[in-house]
Amino acid sequence: MKTHRALILGMLLIPLLASAGCESIKSRFARQALPDLGPPVPLTIQMDVDPSLSAAKTEYIDGCGRIRPFSIGPTVEDMLIQAAHQTFRAVVLPGSHDSAGKPDVTVRIRMLDPRFKIQPDALYDRAPAELSLDVLAEFFDAAGTPLAERPLQSTRKERLQLELTQQRCDYIVDPLLQDASTVLATQFMQEARVLLDPTHAATAAAPPASVVPTEAAQKPAGIVPANSTTTMASPLSFKATLLDENSNLILEGGERIRVRVDIVNTGSQAVQPMTVQLTGPPALIAQFPATKLSTGTIETGGSKSLEFIATLPQSLYPQQAEFQVSLASGTGQPVPAPQTLLASVRPTGITTDDVDQVPAPTTGGQRSGDYLVSIGISSYREQHIGGRKYAALDAEMVATYLQALGGVPKNNVRLLQDWSALRPDIEEALLDWLPSKLTQDSLVTVYFAGQAVVSPTGDTFLIPYDGSLGSTSRLYPLKDLEAALERLKAKQILFVFDGTVLKNGGEGRSKVAAPKWTGTSGKVLHLIGTTGFGKSLESDTLRHGLFTYYLLRGLRGEADLNRNGEVTIGEVTDYLTRKIPTAARNTFKQEQQPQVFPALRVPDKGMDAVLTRPPTIPATDKP
């Protein structure tokens, strides 16, 4: 009896679960749909699709730094053919045996190279992406005489979610492509009706609101906007949003925050560029590299999203913060009223690990001959370059540790974070500042947390804040850094890298040489956080890169295996190569293996160079 009841209950639940599953699938993929613009035009149309459209594709870098192909053409072609079937009495496709007869009109469709970019976002679980499609539709009558040509254009912006797999490398891109294709197909339907159906010519110039794209898509040529009366009210509306790292609207020390401004032009004419300005408490506003941004020209029905980004300092005092976002016009155009954003500020953020509680400074005195250049880049001027969530904080903590426990004087430290880590800033520190300070007994440490990119030949480039993946002149070649360091008259030089290593310039099928980390002389010791390509892991629980987290633990005493009160380069190197692979597997279920270049030699006096003299801290097996 119980078995029969369970069977009956299961049969009743299956349709409900299936329905729920279908609804979930619909909500994820069934986004925009082609509109109903009226009865079909009484013509037969032949669709000729050029290979530039049917085979259109592009590439992008996924969340793990790998190049992925993105097939564009088939989806766009299918949507345009569906639009043709909705618009005309009959549609003839090349190679088909359709009995619709000789076509009244032939449409040839070509596509320019699609443009697709993803900006990996270390702060949110969705990455901003932009897809632009440009199609040319050429219309010919039954005799082959050209009737018209119409450009169709679609630009879609959306935040993409990573696939729910174990590695979480690739993005879910299909819904974005589907929406962009729908916008193109809708424009095709409008254009065809204006051109070929006289009964719709008078009304097609003003498409119904239900088919107007929600994103900033350009209107195709030939569609004339309906006339409207301009009033003194501003044609712009905007919404300002304060976004903090853990979404609790409490601004905490070391936290990365964003003020997002979404602007929409609801008027009947394009709006000339305006200035968006952010104001607020001076101590907080000073952390933003820019407090004024230009909107650029915003077309009718278009939108623009801008973001002010800052990383808050570790030391904050409790207060109520009030930010104000306003628009200003240099041409006297009316602007909407300013908006105010409120948030609480508290000195410490969410519970942090013990590495953020810096031990008391050592009493052994300062080492006036030692120097540190600590570079951390969490975000970039070009927003499509993904950031390292905790890179700027990691650089700050490394500087703090080497000052407190390593005895490096504050004046001997250059801390370059985000917008202060331009290529000229890095060059000035390495080429001008360091050489004039050093002695033959100096220990020099250069720490870099951020991103590097590798050419097909293996040449490695660090990406400064103003870097560009499309221009090597705006990257910092590692060979230039090597040359600068090898010229230094110092006893020991240590280069530490914790970050993401990307491939650049190679085809997906071609083999890219492994990154080149070493110079010609072998004078510089390299401690690299990961092997090959991909990400050096970061942890939201630890609030650090995994490599830097264990580096800090080692510097505070855990690497001092002989318990003599000194942590040497050799001890830190041994500690990191033992700890990180195990922690990566146990905590992240992934692999991460640090590298040391050149290979360590025993004995090697350079390994005995002292980095820190921490107070006695018991070792721990904490993962």
Read off the pLDDT of residues 564-589 as tens digits, 9 standing for 90 and up: 889 999 999 999 999 999 988 888 88
Residue 563 or 275, more confident: 275
With a pLDDT cut of 70, the percent of the chain lying above it is 79
Q: What per-residue confidence (pLDDT) applies to 327?
A: 93
With a pLDDT cut of 90, the percent of the chain lying above it is 25
Residue 111 or 211, more confident: 111
Task: Compute how many other C-beta atoms are within 10 angstroms of the C-beta atom of residue 253.
Answer: 17
Inter-residue contact 50 to 134 (CB < 8 Å) = no
Residue 406 in 3-state DSSP? coil
Structure tokens at 14: 């299956």
pLDDT of 40 above 80: yes
Burial class (CB in 10 A: 0-12, 13-18, 19+), 247: exposed
Read off the pLDDT of residues 506-562 as tens digits, 9 standing for 90 and up: 444 456 778 888 765 667 899 999 888 877 888 888 889 999 999 999 999 889 888
Q: Which pLDDT band holds residue 601 (cuts at 50, 70, 90)?
A: low
Structure tokens at 455: 């050419």
pLDDT of 202 above 50: no
pLDDT of 207 above 60: no
pLDDT of 212 above 60: no
Q: What per-residue confidence (pLDDT) applies to 571?
A: 93
Structure tokens at 154: 């679609």
Q: What per-residue confidence (pLDDT) applies to 443?
A: 94
∠ CA 251-396-383 to the nearest 5 degrees? Answer: 65
Structure tokens at 386: 């993904």
The mean pLDDT of 171-196, rounded to a whole number, is: 86
Q: Which pLDDT band holds residue 124 (cuts at 50, 70, 90)?
A: low
Q: What per-residue confidence (pLDDT) applies to 253?
A: 75
Q: Which pLDDT band holds residue 203 (cuts at 50, 70, 90)?
A: very low
Dihedrals phi, psi of 341, to nearest 5 degrees:
-120, 130
Q: What per-residue confidence (pLDDT) applies to 618?
A: 47
* Sheet with 256-265, side-by-side order of all strands: 236-244, 256-265, 303-311
Instruction: Mean pLDDT check: name the lowest of 205-209, 234-238, 610-614.
Output: 205-209
Residue 598 or 56, more confident: 56
Read off the pLDDT of residues 388-432 as tens digits, 9 standing for 90 and up: 888 988 999 999 899 989 999 989 999 998 888 988 899 999 999
Q: What per-residue confidence (pLDDT) applies to 227?
A: 35
Cα–Cα nearest to 416, from 501, 360, 476: 476
Cα–Cα nearest to 456, from 508, 504, 501: 504
Is the bond into 435 cis (omega within 30 degrees of 0)?
A: no
Residue 130 or 123, more confident: 130
Q: Which pLDDT band holds residue 611 (cuts at 50, 70, 90)?
A: very high
Pairing mode, strands 524-528 and 492-503: parallel
Q: What is the C-alpha separation between 540 and 125, in angstroms, rounded? A: 12
Read off the pLDDT of residues 340-359 as tens digits, 9 standing for 90 and up: 998 888 765 334 457 877 77
Cα–Cα nearest to 523, from 496, 492, 497: 492
Q: What per-residue confidence (pLDDT) applies to 518?
A: 75
∠ CA 27-29-31 to the nearest 5 degrees? Answer: 75
Q: Which pLDDT band holds residue 71 (cuts at 50, 70, 90)?
A: very high
Mean pLDDT of the chain: 79
Q: What per-residue confidence (pLDDT) applies to 527?
A: 94
Read off the pLDDT of residues 274-283 as tens digits, 9 standing for 90 and up: 999 999 887 7
Inter-residue contact 131 to 85 (CB < 8 Å) = no
Inter-residue contact 440 to 490 (CB < 8 Å) = yes
Read off the pLDDT of residues 503-521 as tens digits, 9 standing for 90 and up: 875 444 456 778 888 765 6
The mean pLDDT of 265-288, rounded to a whole number, is: 86
The mean pLDDT of 140-161, rounded to a whole number, is: 83
Most confident residue range from 119-133, 212-226, 295-309, 337-351: 295-309
